[in-house]
Amino acid sequence: MAKKKILIIDDEENLCKFVKINLELTGAFEVSMATNGIEGISVAQKTKPDLILLDILMPVMDGIEALKRLRKDKDTFRIPVLMLSAIGYEPFKIRAAELYAERYITKPIETSELKAKIEEVLKKEG
């Protein structure tokens, strides 16, 4: 079975590397990373991931703006997005839902739980 492509867009590089390694160790995922919204949109357009993990608070372009742009782009509007943020701020959750984010997950999260949520969304999409 082909590995599912996951894109992590998060400015916390160590977290990205940790999540990338742990997801790739499952053997089910191929993971790429971007450290801000602008870079993330570019990577998403080029690689067409099966799912995006998107942080909210980032420099250059925050996750809400990145999500807006992903949803307006013909190449990325159908890619499921899981918001992954240390901030459980209700207005962020509401705005993400309005922009059709699949889930809003508050960090920290166990790798097994994250993998289960990713698989749940991918199964629903596929």
State the Cα–Cα distance between residues 35 and 17, nearest whole angstrom.
11
State the Cα–Cα distance between residues 103 and 93, nearest whole angstrom.
9
Per-residue confidence at 1, pLDDT binned at 50, 70, 90? Answer: low
Supply the pLDDT for residue 126. 62
Supply the pLDDT for residue 39. 96
- Residue range 40-89, pLDDT digits in tens: 999 999 999 999 999 998 989 999 999 999 999 999 999 999 998 877 76
From the list 122, 54, 121, 60, the residue with the least C-alpha distance to 92 is: 54
From the list 96, 105, 33, the residue with the least C-alpha distance to 68 is: 96
24 close to 5: Cβ distance less than 8 angstroms:
no
From the list 5, 7, 14, the residue with the least C-alpha distance to 107 is: 14
State the Cα–Cα distance between residues 99 and 4, nearest whole angstrom.
23
State the Cα–Cα distance between residues 76 and 87, nearest whole angstrom.
25
Supply the pLDDT for residue 95. 82
Task: Report pTM.
Answer: 0.91
- Residue range 92-113, pLDDT digits in tens: 788 888 877 788 888 888 888 8
The whole-number average pLDDT for the span 27-38 is: 95
